[in-house]
Amino acid sequence: MKLNWKYILIVMILAVLVLVGSACNKEEQIADKPADYDTNLQIIAKVIDGDTIKLQDNTKVRLIGIDSPEKGQCYFEESTNFTTQLLEGKSVKLEKDISGKDDYDRLLRYVIIVNEDPKQDNLLVNDHIVRQGYAQAVASPPDNRYRDLFVSAQEEALREKRGLWKECDYESGLSDRRENDDEPTDPNCIIKGNISTRGYGRIYLLPGCDNYETVKIDFTKGEQYFCTEEEAQEADFRKATNCP
């Protein structure tokens, strides 16, 4: 029986074309696959300002929960330089909260420098920038995972007069406005029961909490002092997370 070489050649050519097409499709699928920003480490290509960075693929990332000075404002250069020295060229982990992007198409993320030593802590950059006085903590609902931590960081920076809190005339937006600053009626009952207007709810603070000294108690708003933590808890107040 004679082989039809032309037929065989045509079949071989078609088989090769099918294999090549399949490989191309796989490459296209890989190319079209969105970057997994929150699993893979990302390299910071450029720092735009104190709270905004750019990745190697030109994706911009806005750090959640903080607000650094804008260009032309006091401490802009210092804030930008601090974030640049901290992040530019570094490999970092990005952590998402609830929101994906903002109105400017920037990723909204927490930025974490991973410590190579598993026994040592990672560095939450958002918190570090605020704690060192290079940005303010801001409410960013619904992204509230580290809200109390950032509030505590700003209270520490204010107390220690770090960075912009020493050099600039910024107002802290953390403290709720109070008409009164009532004193405890019993000198032995000094646990502050605060009702926050900024979404924190009913919290109590003991001496030693980061912002104990700055929180005012206004009896007309239903706030009060407690003698013990048990009394505060029975009145449906919970302990502030920035307390020791």
Domain boundaries, the chain: 42-167, 191-239
Nearest to 106 by CA among 49, 28, 29: 49
The pLDDT score that the predictor gives to residue 78 is 97
More confident residue, 159 or 126: 126
**Span 42-167 CATH architecture:** Beta Barrel (2.40)
List, for residues 155-207, the tens digit of each pLDDT value: 899 989 999 999 998 877 654 445 578 999 999 999 999 887 656 678 899 99
Report which residue type is found at 15. A
For 161-197, give one letter per residue: b (16+ CB within 10 A) or e.
ebbbbeeeeeeeebbbebeeeeeeeeeeeebbbbbee
CA-CA-CA-CA torsion sign (136, 151, 160, 176): positive
Q: In whole angstroms, what is the distance from residue 12 CA to residue 241 CA?
A: 70
Q: Bigger pLDDT: 91 or 21?
A: 91
The model's pTM: 0.63
| Residue-wise pLDDT tens digits, 17-38 | 666 565 555 444 444 556 778 8
In the chain, the percentage of residues whose pLDDT exceeds 90 is 57
Residue 130: what pLDDT? 96
Please give the average per-residue pLDDT across 135-154, as a whole number. 89
